[in-house]
Amino acid sequence: MKKWNISPPPPDSFLSDHPELPPIVARLLWNRKLDTQEKIDEFLNPDYSQDLHDPFLFQDMVKAVELITNTIAAGEKITVHGDYDADGVCAAVVLITTLKKIGAPEVGVFLPHRETDGYGLNLNTVRLLKENGTSLIITCDCGISNTAEVALAKELGLRVIITDHHAMPAQFPPADAIIHPLVPGETYPDKGLAGGGVAFKLAQALLQTHHKTNSVLPDGQTHEGFEKWLLDLVAISTVGDMVPLIGESRTLVRYGLTVLNKTKNLGLRKLLSGAGIADEQGRAKKSAFDARTIGFQIAPRINAAGRMDHANVALALLTAATEQEAEDLAAQLQQNNTDRQKLTEQLVKQARAQIKGTEQEKNPILFVLGEGWSTGILGLIASRLKDEFYKPILAMGLNKGVITGSGRSIKEFNLIKALQSMPEFFLKFGGHPQACGFSLRSPELLEDFKAALTQKTAEGVVDVDLTPQINVDAEVTLEEINWKLFDLLQKFEPFGQANEEPCYAAYGLTVVAIEPVGQDGKHLRLLLKHNSHTVRKTIGFGLGDVNRHPENWREMLKPGDKIDLVFTVGVNEWNGNRELQLTVEDLRSAVETATPSI
C-alpha cells in the first residue's frame, strides 16, 4: 500500500503577500517551490520573448556556429547523428531542417539501430561517416560519453560538435565544441533542457547568425517564423524524454503545444489522425492537444519505430514531403506501436514472474533477464516493474552473446552514478540519475555485476524509506471539485516532471456502484458519494487488473463500502458532451486509516 504524503499548506505570510491568489492556487504554487513573484509570473504566464535564454550563453556556441557556417561556406557535408527515441529523433529533425533552411548544400542524417549500433556514436559509424564524405558531425541527444569515438573522428580528420544533455562522464570527448548544459563551468542558466531543447538552442543561434546578413531565409520565410514552427518537435522531445517541465523547458512546451495544435508537419498530422484523436487536417477532434497527448499518444508511437524496427521510419515520417508518404509511414508506426504494446505485456509478465515470490524480491535492486528479449522493450519492462515494486530495476536481454540492459530507478537512488563507479563491467553505458542503458563487457561478468550493484544500492538506500509513496497536494471534498477549480488548474499546464498533475485526497467516500470497463474489465468506473447525495463518476485505469493491483478491487469493493481516494481532475468528452472526470491514482478502505487533520 502506498504512503500518502499530503503537502502542508503555505505559511500565512505567503498568503498575505499574495492575496490575489485563490487558496488552492496559492497552495499548489507553494508546493512547487514557486515562492516569489518572479517565479510565479514565469510559471503562470510564460513569455517566449522574455523567458527563453540567449543561446550564445552556452560557452561553446560561438565556436559551434562558426564551425557550421564555415563548413556550409566550403560546400562540405554535415551529418547530424541523432538517437532512436522521440527526443533524439525530434532533435535530429530540428537540426537537419534548420541546416537545410539556411542553405547547407549537403546535409546527411544518421540514426543508430538499437540492436546493431547501440546508443550513441560507435567506431564503425565514425568510419562510415568518413567514407561517405562527411566533414562535420553534429550529435544530438548523445555524444557526451563517446570519448573514444570522437577521438577516432578527430584522427580521421572529421570535426565534431556535440549537443547532448545526459550525465557527465569521467572523461570528456575531444570535440571541437560541446553544447551541453551540465558541463562543469558551463554558464548557460537552464540545466534541465532535453536533447531536443539543446538542439533547438543551436538552431536558434544559427538562425540569429544568418539573420544578421539576411533579412529572410533563402525561401522567403522569416527567421522568427521558421524558429517558432519548430516548437512542436521541441515539445515532443521535451515531454517524451520526461525532463522537468519548469523554467525554459516549460516555456518551450507551452508554446510548442500551441504550434502542435495547428502543426504544418505532414507526418504529425497523419500520426494524430491515425491515432484517432485528430481529423484529416491534424486538428484535435475534442479538447486541444496537451502534454498528455504527447506522453501517451505521440511519443510512444515515435519511440515504437526504434523499439520494433528502426527509428528511420519516425524520421522519415517527420520529414515527409507528400500526403501519401506521410500516411503510409504513420500507418507503419501505428502497427509498430500495436506490436510494441502486445510484446511489452508479454515480457512484463515473464519478468514479473522472475521477481514475485522469490528471494530476490527482498533485495534493494531487482534484476530480470530474458534470452532474446528485444532491446527496444527493456526500458518499458524496467519502468513498469519499478512502479510496481518501488525499487530500482535492471531489465536485460541476452542477444547474440551480448547482454544489454535498461535501468529505471526510484528518485531516492542515483542509478547512473552507481554505474559510473564500476565502468569495468561495461562495453558502453550512459543515462540519467533515474534511467540508464548499458552493454556488459561479457556475459560471464553478470553475477559479479549484480553483486556489485546490489551492494552499491544497499549502501545508497540504507536510510531510505522504500515504501511506495504518492504526493498529494490537498485534502478536499468531492463537492469542491467543480469547473471553477478545473479552469484554475489550466494555468498549471503543461504537467510533467517537477510539475506533476495536482493530486487530491478525499476521505470517507461511499461506494454507490462498481462498473468494470474495457477489455476483460481491467479498468473500473466507481460511482461515489461524499457529503451530499450527488453521485460522482471516477475512473480507475488498470484497477481491475489483478496483475497490477493484487488487492483485486473488482471483487473486494461493494456498494456501501467506505473508501479513501487520491485522484486527479480532468475532462471526459463524448458526443459533444463534457463532464469533469476524476481519475483514481490510489485508494484504500476507509477503515484502514483515520482521516488526518491538516
Is residue 598 scored above 60 in pLDDT? no
Whether 196 and 233 have beta carbons less than 8 Å apart is answered as yes
CA distance 394 to 365: 8
- The residue-averaged pLDDT of 90-113 equals 97
Residue 572's DSSP bridge partners are: 579
**Residue 227: band (very low, low, confident or very high) from pLDDT cuts 50, 70, 90:** very high
Is residue 5 scored above 60 in pLDDT? yes
Minimum mean pLDDT among 11-20, 172-181, 279-288: which range? 279-288
CA distance 4 to 467: 10
- The residue-averaged pLDDT of 139-164 equals 96
| pLDDT score of 2 | 83
Nearest-5° angle of CA 403, CA 405, CA 411? 155
- The residue-averaged pLDDT of 580-598 equals 73
Angle of helix 266-274 versus helix 323-353 axis, rounded to 10: 50
**Residue 594: band (very low, low, confident or very high) from pLDDT cuts 50, 70, 90:** very low
CA distance 177 to 179: 7
- Cell numbers found for residue 413: 537512488
CA distance 104 to 562: 66
**Residue 254: band (very low, low, confident or very high) from pLDDT cuts 50, 70, 90:** very high
| pLDDT score of 167 | 87
- The residue-averaged pLDDT of 269-292 equals 90
pLDDT by residue (tens digit) across 483-504? 988 888 888 999 988 899 999 9
DSSP character at residue 279: -
Is residue 539 scored above 90 in pLDDT? yes
Residue 528's DSSP bridge partners are: 511, 536
| pLDDT score of 186 | 96
| pLDDT score of 121 | 93
For the chain, the average pLDDT equals: 92
Is residue 360 scored above 80 in pLDDT? yes
Better-scored residue on pLDDT, 388 or 397: 397
| pLDDT score of 307 | 87
Q: Is the peptide bond before 494 cis (omega within 30 degrees of 0)?
A: yes
CA distance 314 to 330: 8
Q: Could you give the percent of the chain with pLDDT greater than 90?
A: 72
**Residue 550: band (very low, low, confident or very high) from pLDDT cuts 50, 70, 90:** low
Q: Which helix (H) or strand (E) holds 418?
A: helix 415-420
**Residue 152: band (very low, low, confident or very high) from pLDDT cuts 50, 70, 90:** very high
- Cell numbers found for residue 334: 501505428
CA distance 582 to 34: 26
- The residue-averaged pLDDT of 27-56 equals 91
Is residue 591 scored above 80 in pLDDT? no
CA of 24: how far to CAs of 7, 15, 21, 37, 166, in Å? 12, 11, 8, 17, 36
- Cell numbers found for residue 113: 539501430
| pLDDT score of 597 | 38
- Cell numbers found for residue 402: 551480448
CB burial of 18-54 (b: ≥16 within 10 Å; e: otherwise) equals beebeebbbbbbbbbebeeeeebebbeebeeeebbbe
Q: Could you give the percent of the chain with pLDDT greater than 70?
A: 98
Residue 510's DSSP bridge partners are: 529, 562
| pLDDT score of 21 | 85
Number of H helices, E strands in the chain: 22, 18
Is residue 440 helix, strand or coil?
Answer: strand
| pLDDT score of 388 | 87
pLDDT by residue (tens digit) across 468-482? 889 999 999 999 898
Identify the residue whose cell numbers are 471539485.
Answer: 481
- The residue-averaged pLDDT of 89-97 equals 98
DSSP character at residue 524: E
- Cell numbers found for residue 107: 546535409
Better-scored residue on pLDDT, 466 or 205: 205
pLDDT by residue (tens digit) across 509-535? 999 999 998 877 889 999 999 988 889
Is residue 592 scored above 70 in pLDDT? no
CB burial of 154-184 (b: ≥16 within 10 Å; e: otherwise) equals beeebbbbbbbbbbeeeebbebbbbbbbebe
Minimum mean pLDDT among 214-228, 274-288, 354-368: which range? 274-288
Angle of helix 247-260 versus helix 231-240 axis, rounded to 10: 120
Better-scored residue on pLDDT, 517 or 129: 129
| pLDDT score of 81 | 98
**Residue 77: band (very low, low, confident or very high) from pLDDT cuts 50, 70, 90:** very high
CA-based Rg of the chain, rounded to a whole angstrom? 25
**Residue 547: band (very low, low, confident or very high) from pLDDT cuts 50, 70, 90:** low
User: Which domains are delineated in the chain?
Assistant: 55-260 (3.90.1640.30), 263-344 (no CATH), 354-460 (3.10.310.30), 471-592 (2.40.50.460)
CA distance 596 to 598: 6
CA distance 215 to 237: 30
Whether 34 and 40 have beta carbons less than 8 Å apart is answered as yes
- The residue-averaged pLDDT of 221-243 equals 96
| pLDDT score of 139 | 98
Name the residue among 40, 30, 39 with its Cα closest to residue 9: 30
CA distance 340 to 380: 10
Minimum mean pLDDT among 6-15, 106-115, 549-558: which range? 549-558
DSSP character at residue 296: I
| pLDDT score of 595 | 45
